[in-house]
């Protein structure tokens, strides 16, 4: 085991996989020489050379399109889109090519591609550096979508994503890159010189996709969350004193529906939390699944807590996405409903 930040854990995962498999290549905007805008790929070009870790032009469609071609011919590209907000020029390539390649070729070609993207807010990045677009990918058949909440999961899930035979969208909550973070929105971001370290296994230590984790056991209400909101949910449960069970989904597609059903069937109540805007967010899918599979166990309506349906505000971002106060209010509403 070693103590790492999420950035260090991601870099370690890439290092492990590049060392194990010569077909793994890493590229994107400023990824090579500079080591990425968040330094997730720092040192990889020096260690593995410019043929395996290199810079790409400022063209997200070009980055992803090139990676799809590489994947179809046997390589395992892991590309970085500098911010999730920048992915839209590449969306056609992701949806029309990467997600469909296995199916349209009847299995003759596959697309073992990972697209890494910093996602979410919390660093005052404004409208074009703070979006949470996970629902745009979970809606697309053929894609897998991963959102880690801690360094250990970031490494293990990234290794599993690189080893997966199909395309994986890997969303990295930038608020958790260096921490520390205890769920409180009223505390300023800590300078990058201070680190939130997690215990991370050394070497090859994959975590299978499609397995949720119980971060806090409880019997009064189930909270479904992922990424940054896992920590917000834990803080809300602690502050309210409500015996909430916090489920970290970890992967949205494939989704660990069994873990959700077991928890909600036990508690009879459910709160869904995500940072993205409310309307058509992934939380709506979670609410629908809970309704379909746990209807006769529910003792109250499912409650959603999410970002507001407005373009991402710069100065008011801590008001925009859920903090412990809003999640705590939802927990009380769920447990007090009859």
- How does pLDDT run across 105-124, given as a tens digit for each residue? 999 999 999 999 999 987 77
Banded pLDDT at 338 (limits 50, 70, 90): confident
Query: Pick the catalytic residue: 103, 129, 184, 274?
Result: 129
- Do 2-200 and 213-336 fold alike per CATH? yes
Global confidence as pTM? 0.94
Instruction: Identify which of 89, 86, 103, 85 has the alpha carbon closest to the alpha carbon of residue 140.
Output: 103
DSSP state of 206: -
For 2, phi then psi, to 5°, come to -140, 150
Q: What is the pLDDT of residue 185?
A: 52
pLDDT in tens, 315-337: 788 788 898 999 999 999 999 98
CATH of domain 2-200: 3.40.50.970
Q: What is the pLDDT of residue 109?
A: 95
pLDDT in tens, 123-139: 778 888 889 999 999 99
Please say whether the beta carbons of 245 and 216 come within 8 A. yes
Q: Quick one: 165 exposed, middle or buried, by C-beta within 10 A (0-12, 13-18, 19+)?
A: exposed
Pairing of the two strands 244-248 and 213-216: antiparallel
CA-angle at 30, arms to 25 and 32, nearest 5°? 40
CATH class of domain segment(s) 213-336: alpha beta
User: Cα–chain-centroid distance for residue 329?
Assistant: 25
Q: What is the pLDDT of residue 314?
A: 76
User: Cα–chain-centroid distance for residue 76?
Assistant: 20
Q: Is 129 a catalytic residue?
A: yes
DSSP state of 108: S
- What is the arithmetic mean of pLDDT over 22-41? 97
Please say whether the beta carbons of 175 and 123 come within 8 A. yes
**Distance between CA atoms of 274 and 173, rounded to whole angstroms?**
12
Spans of all domains in the chain = 2-200, 213-336
């Amino acid at each position: 085991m070693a103590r790492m930040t999420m950035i260090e854990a991601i870099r370690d995962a890439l290092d492990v996989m590049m060392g194990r498999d010569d077909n793994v290549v890493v590229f994107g905007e400023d990824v090579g020489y500079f080591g990425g805008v968040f330094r997730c790929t720092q040192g990889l070009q020096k260690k593995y050379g410019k043929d395996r870790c290199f810079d790409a032009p400022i063209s997200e469609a070009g980055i992803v399109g090139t990676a799809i071609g590489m994947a179809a011919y046997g390589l395992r590209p892991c590309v970085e889109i500098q911010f999730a907000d920048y992915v839209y020029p590449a969306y056609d390539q992701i949806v029309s090519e990467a997600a469909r390649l296995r199916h349209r070729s009847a299995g003759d070609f596959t697309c073992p591609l990972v697209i890494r993207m910093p996602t979410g807010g919390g660093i005052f990045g404004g409208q074009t550096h703070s979006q949470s677009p996970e629902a745009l990918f979970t809606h697309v058949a053929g894609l897998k979508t991963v959102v880690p909440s801690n360094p250990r999961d970031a490494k293990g899930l990234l290794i599993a994503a690189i080893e997966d035979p199909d395309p994986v969208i890997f969303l990295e909550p930038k608020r958790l890159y260096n921490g520390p973070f205890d769920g409180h929105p009223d505390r300023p971001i800590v300078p990058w010189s201070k680190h939130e370290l997690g215990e991370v296994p050394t070497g090859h230590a994959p975590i299978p996709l499609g397995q949720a984790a119980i971060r806090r056991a409880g019997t009064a209400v189930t909270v479904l969350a992922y990424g940054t909101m896992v920590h917000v949910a834990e803080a809300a449960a602690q502050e309210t004193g409500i015996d909430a069970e916090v489920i970290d989904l970890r992967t949205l597609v494939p989704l660990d529906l069994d873990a959700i059903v077991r928890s909600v069937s036990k508690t009879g109540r459910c709160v869904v939390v995500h940072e993205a805007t409310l309307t058509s967010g992934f939380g709506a899918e979670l609410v629908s699944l809970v309704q379909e599979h746990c209807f006769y166990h529910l003792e109250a309506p499912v409650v959603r807590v999410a970002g507001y349906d407005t373009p991402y505000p710069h100065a008011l971002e801590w008001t925009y996405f859920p903090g412990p106060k809003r999640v705590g209010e939802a927990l009380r509403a769920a447990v007090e409903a009859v």
